[in-house]
Amino acid sequence: MSRHLDIYPPTFLNVNHALLPTAGNWDEASVNIVPPAMPRHDGVTLWRQIAETLQREIADGTYAPGGRLPTEAELSARFTVNRHTVRRALDELSREGLVRIEQGRGTFVSEDVLDYTVESRTRFSEWIRRHNKEPSGEVLQLRELSADAHTAAGLGVRTGAKIVLLERLGLADGRPVSLTRHYFCHRGMLAALYDQPSITEAFKTVGVSDYQRQTSRVTARLPTPAEADHLRMPRNRPVLVAENTNVDSSGAVVEFAVGLYPTPRVQMVFEP
């Protein structure tokens, strides 16, 4: 009769020799060598040891930027600990900004931080290509709506006035780096943006040949659950919130934009 045996190193378990196969029936036995538990270091918790091990492996290139770490189950098996201990280690790495945890997708090594230099004519595609990445975007909504008090003040129109909203997710090499709500007071922008997703080209369609940033106001807050899902970022990490007012060559306001930038991936740079 075949036997399945789990053989532990003798330092961890006293093997019952009566259960070992005899010299004549080793071929019929199924032997599984169980790895030893992770060695304990005095004064250092297990989750901290795991976090430090993964941190070293990220530093030496075992896991590349943007790469996926093994699953919790795989790490639990590797370190012979329960998933709660592994999860505590991953949470610590996430808190330190070394990894990002995406619900339902796994844990990924954080990429290099992109510098967003605030200039008078910062364009999304130019910003991303400056970092040798490919820009792309997803339109989440494009519609007409009534301006609330805050948006109306940004556009210089009355509260309740009809304006156009374009909400777009900005991607760099397929990774979300911005979530921006663009508000326009020129109602012709609705049709223009349906025909041409580029804001610059859409502006030309309605007679705005050039525009530039007049003011920028930057704050920070935690993302809403929906914002965190769109940006694929932890909900306990802040987003930078940039409110920008753009004007045409005559100084008239043509756009008020509220952009969200995930701090694990983007930092704002202001130059004199």
Residue 228 lies in a domain: yes
**Residue 237 included in any domain:** yes
Specify if 175 maps to a domain.
yes
Mean pLDDT of the region 35-44: 60
Looking up residue 64, the CATH number of its domain turns out to be: 1.10.10.10
Answer whether 0.85 is exceeded by the pTM: no
Provide the edge-to-edge strand list for the sheet that holds 239-248: 135-146, 162-172, 175-184, 253-262, 239-248, 211-221
161 and 139, same domain (yes or no): yes
Split at pLDDT 50, 70, 90, the class of 42 is low
Q: How many CA atoms lie within 13 A of 152 on its CB side?
A: 11
My answer on whether 158 and 72 are in the same domain is no
Q: What is the reported pLDDT for 176?
A: 92
For residue 38, being part of any structural domain is answered with no
- Asked if residue 99 belongs to a domain, the reply is yes
The total number of structural domains that make up the chain: 3
Rounded distance between C-alpha atoms, residue 172 and residue 84, angstroms: 33
pLDDT band at 152 (very low <50, low <70, confident <90, very high): very high
Would you give the end-to-end CA distance of the chain in angstroms? Answer: 81
Predicted confidence band of residue 64 (pLDDT cuts 50, 70, 90): confident
CB 7 within 8 A of CB 19: no
* Residue 61 within a domain: yes
Amino acid 40: pLDDT: 62
Listed range (74-83, 165-174, 227-236) with the worst mean pLDDT: 227-236
- Same structural domain for residues 53 and 70? yes
**Residues 87, 92, 94: CA angle, nearest 5 degrees:** 95
Whether residue 258 is found in the same domain as residue 145: yes
Domain that holds residue 86: 46-109
Residue 263 pLDDT class (50, 70, 90 cuts): confident
Q: Give how far Cα 243 sits from Cα of 62, 75, 165, 170, 214, Å.
A: 39, 42, 15, 16, 11
CATH assignment of the domain containing 189: 3.40.1410.10
pLDDT at position 248: 95
Same domain? For 71 and 124 the reply is no
Mean of per-residue pLDDT scores for the chain: 85
pLDDT in tens, 107-127: 989 877 899 988 888 889 999
